[in-house]
Homo-oligomer: A and B are copies of this chain.
Amino acid sequence: MILARLILGLLSLSPMTGYELKKHFDSSINHFWNADKAQIYRTLTKLVQDGHATVTVIRQSNYPDRQEHHITELGREMLVQWLQTDVTAHIPREPFMARLFFAAELDRTGVVDLVEARRVATQDLLDDYLSQREDIDMRAAADRRSFLMAATLDNSIRHQEAELQWLEAVAEHLP
């Protein structure tokens, strides 16, 4: 459901092939959503079936045909409608917390290792996000669209920072 909306959102910016959508997911969307290739193509099929998008096949000389997907008026309406529906609380699932919750089955060193491994993984993610952030800055602040896109990245950054601080506190006070 949400994948369909994200795809509609991207198509609202510009017509695209499934392949290009996948690239966007892997670059700009990756900090809050990821999508499987197969799932993108299947969702595109459904969007076309539902009249939210149309396909235009474009021949290319040196590359395979492009199945360019365009958002329709109906699709645009659905997109705006979704944006306006109620915000419902959503508890993300955190596999690491699942582990830590039961980590007392390990000895102290085991727990320390777990926390340290998480710290490294978190720092890597944060570094990645920070370098993405550098590529946008400044010119972004002006128009609302760019501001919001940057803001979602800032959200991920703040969460990773909070995670790091929490990890330090855990490492420090672990009995």
Residues on A close to B: CB < 8 A? 2, 5-6, 9, 12, 29-34, 76, 79-80, 82-84, 86-106, 108, 110-111, 114, 117-118, 121-122, 124-125, 141-145, 147-149, 151-152, 154-156, 158-159, 161-163, 165-166, 169-170, 173-175
Contacts and interface: CB of A to CB of B under 8 A. Distances in A.
Contacts of A2: 93, 95, 98
B148 A158 contact: no
Work out how many copies of this chain go into the complex. 2
A101 to B, nearest CB: 5
23 contacts: A9-B101, A9-B105, A30-B91, A31-B91, A32-B93, A32-B94, A32-B101, A33-B91, A33-B93, A33-B94, A79-B102, A83-B110, A87-B117, A88-B121, A89-B122, A92-B93, A94-B155, A97-B156, A101-B148, A102-B148, A104-B148, A159-B163, A161-B162
